Structure 1
Amino acid sequence: METVQLPFIPKQNRGLKDRIKHNFLTWLRLTDQPVVKIYRGFGNESMLTVHGSMFRRSALSRKKYRTSIFLNLFGLIRLFLVRPYPHATIRVYAGGQTIETQTDLDGYFRVAVSLNQPLPSGWHVVRTQCVRRTKTSETIVAESEGQVLVPHPTTFACISDIDDTFLVSHSARLLKRLRVLLTRNAHTRQPFDGVVAHYKLLAEANNRAGETNPFFYVSSSEWNLYDYILEFSKKHGLPEGVYLLSPLKQLRDVLKTGQGKHMTKFARIVRILEAYPQQRFILLGDDTQEDPTIYASVVRHFLPQIRCVYIRQVHGKNQLKTREILAEIQEKGVPCCYFAHSAEARQHSVDSGLVA
């Protein structure tokens, strides 16, 4: 993904204060140039969902990943020094359509683009521009390109949590979670043993060559961590997919990262299910927070669409409650697998006929 920005003001034309500020932000690897960022979106035969964030200040892409605790701490903190651009005018070009919208107070925007004719399955490029208007002129403040997925008609689709589902995060233990988050980076964090093999098996199951079961990653982690999570997923070979995260947080809230309102996660899952009413889904989560409760609600409201539920055992104190919730789900005819190791989940996928 590339972002095109307005040119920097030449150094000789800047005041001393602006030069000091620019040099300080450059040292921090931040930019105070306006940036519009598109997150991976999704669509069907009649509509595309395009979404992203507009920033007044944002973090530059990380180029090197080292084991230094200081650099990793600094690298994470930068992601929470962003400054959103509220009430910005965003122009979206997608599916042959042009739509304008406004960012919210967090600088976030989301538009539904109606299609005049269906797009072929696969990833499609979309463009956005941030536009500033006066009575006599219009200026493009920033622009960028992103991708939207129109899934192939496959056997099933997967909706997966992130923290403690495939990424070791210690979500139930705040101090340990923060130590891992603050001292490691996207290359030194680790997935659970066997989880990548299981996800690849699910992605490639029972489909024609070149077609994969789509993955949607839905998490309480914030959009601040989008590139971080994307880099981790790429590094470890997880199936490419669409990511739906939680609203941006500022530096003052960094200690609360991943602790958002979990029921907004339910709403994001509902958007996916409603976009593909004929598709069946596998839900993957863990027992550290609210995944079992959220997935039980999903099953109650969308029973015909849910093929199976997988919950990873991470937090011992929640096991009894989780087993009760999963028993209720199974009573509705939806198979569940409550597993400690990914090898168990993979074997369940084979034994239950999900994969050949």
Structure 2
Amino acid sequence: MRLTQGPIVRVYRGFGSQTHQVVQGHVFARGPMPRRSYSPNVWTNTLALLRLFMVKPMPGVTVRLAGTDQVTTTDADGFFRFDYPVERAPEYGWNPVAVELVADQTPHAAVLATGRGRVLIPHPTQYGFISDIDDTFLISHSATIWKRLQVLLTENAQSRDPFEGVVNHYQFLANVCSGEERPNPFFYVSSSEWNLYDYILTFSEEHQLPEGVYLLGQLKQLSQLWKTGQGKHFTKLDRIARILTAFPDQQFVLLGDDTQADPTIYRDVVKHYPGQIRAVYLRQVHTPHHGRTQAIVDEIQAAGVPCCYFKHSSDALSHSKDELTK
């Protein structure tokens, strides 16, 4: 089954500023090995996807941020988060970080396993971008759970398709009013579960989407696979709020779609963070939601925030060139 027996410390991409950082991850007693190759074979893809949901979390264990006295305990899902002030300002860009699984909370506790990751310290650019994933840039059929499952189980991260023109749009956004040497920060916030972290990362790298930080939904077990992508939407709002709070002096652009709760969430974000949202983009994917989404778009625009409700990425790109370069 290509499952490793732990302990395994997974450290996801973190983020921070010159004064504060956030690092998070999971500790597993069992987890999937990295995929070695990609095949069009349906059964190979199905088995590879199922392995991502065969994880065995380690709850209640102690982890330590390497080189510091920061310790915390994993929750019931084996998840941990360090949210801490930094003593010395880090360099802008990506900084290495390591998290250790330790035997106890004493200073000289034995290290049982180590995981490594990176933390993004954004350059002080004009814009930051917060984007949904499913049906915003990755064609996922989220409005129909069985269609979503079919695509997940029969294809792989390299055979999946982005929407036409979306990569050009995102690459433009990464450099607008900044440049390649100081790219704008991207945060990918989704209801997709942490099980799909490597899957989504592989897709993003394959299609050259802007490098960024991923904040996903609660881990699921194999028996919960049929609920994939059906995370609680208030937790997505909480993750977005965490980003906006971490960078209070930065303006953000929100990108989503109309298949689930993005319009409602983004309207609430505009309401609770006035002056911090520069623009909102919503992709038209699910025709039955068009009417109610348009009503929310009207509310966002009435609040003074430009909102582009678009069907084709070329239209969104044109809007960005006009609106974000003023």
TM normalised by structure 1 equals 0.89
> In structure 2, what is the equivalent of residue 3 of structure 1?
none
> In structure 2, what is the equivalent of residue 155 of structure 1?
126
Cα distance in 2 for partners of 1:355, 1:149 equals: 25
Q: Return the letter of the residue paired with 1:47.
A: H
Does residue 68 (structure 1) correspond to residue 41 (structure 2)? The answer is: yes
Does residue 303 (structure 1) correspond to residue 274 (structure 2)? The answer is: yes
Tell me how far 1:45 sits from its aligned partner: 1.5
Specify every segment of 5 or more residues in structure 2 that has no aligned partner in the other structure, as ranges: none
Contact 2:308/2:316 (8 A) holds in 1: yes
Q: Return the letter of the residue paired with 2:134.
A: D
> In structure 2, what is the equivalent of residue 29 of structure 1?
2
Matches within 5 A, 1:148-227: 148-227=119-198
Contact 2:62/2:102 (8 A) holds in 1: yes
Contact 1:97/1:113 (8 A) holds in 2: no
Q: How many matched pairs?
A: 325
Tell me how far 1:208 sits from its aligned partner: 4.2
Deviates more, 1:143-152 or 1:126-135: 126-135
Cα distance in 2 for partners of 1:50, 1:235 equals: 25
Of structures 1 and 2, the larger Rg is shown by 1
RMSD across aligned positions (CA): 1.4
Does residue 85 (structure 1) correspond to residue 58 (structure 2)? The answer is: yes
Does residue 119 (structure 1) correspond to residue 81 (structure 2)? The answer is: no
Decide which of 180, 204, 212 is 1:241's aligned counterpart: 212
Does residue 281 (structure 1) correspond to residue 256 (structure 2)? The answer is: no
Q: Return the letter of the residue paired with 2:172.
A: L
Contact 2:21/2:85 (8 A) holds in 1: yes
Identity %: 53
Q: Return the letter of the residue paired with 2:43.
A: F
Q: 1:140 to 1:302 in 2, by over 3 A?
A: same
Tell me how far 1:209 sits from its aligned partner: 4.6
> In structure 1, what is the equivalent of residue 319 of structure 2?
348
Specify every segment of 5 or more residues in structure 1 that has no aligned partner in the other structure, as ranges: 1-27
Does residue 314 (structure 1) correspond to residue 288 (structure 2)? The answer is: no
Partner of 1:77, secondary structure, is: helix
Contact 2:4/2:32 (8 A) holds in 1: yes
> In structure 2, what is the equivalent of residue 139 of structure 1?
110
Does residue 335 (structure 1) correspond to residue 306 (structure 2)? The answer is: yes
Partner of 2:13, secondary structure, is: strand
Cα distance in 2 for partners of 1:317, 1:253 equals: 27
Partner of 2:103, secondary structure, is: strand
Contact 2:22/2:83 (8 A) holds in 1: yes
Displaced runs of 4+ in structure 1, greater than 3 A?
none
Tell me how far 1:282 sits from its aligned partner: 0.3
Tell me how far 1:205 sits from its aligned partner: 1.0
> In structure 1, what is the equivalent of residue 23 of structure 2?
50
Contact 2:71/2:105 (8 A) holds in 1: no
Deviates more, 1:200-209 or 1:64-73: 200-209
Deviates more, 1:306-315 or 1:205-214: 205-214
Partner of 2:47, secondary structure, is: helix
Q: Return the letter of the residue paired with 1:128.
A: V
Matches within 5 A, 1:10-29: 28-29=1-2
Contact 2:62/2:105 (8 A) holds in 1: no
Tell me how far 1:134 sits from its aligned partner: 10
Contact 1:201/1:355 (8 A) holds in 2: no
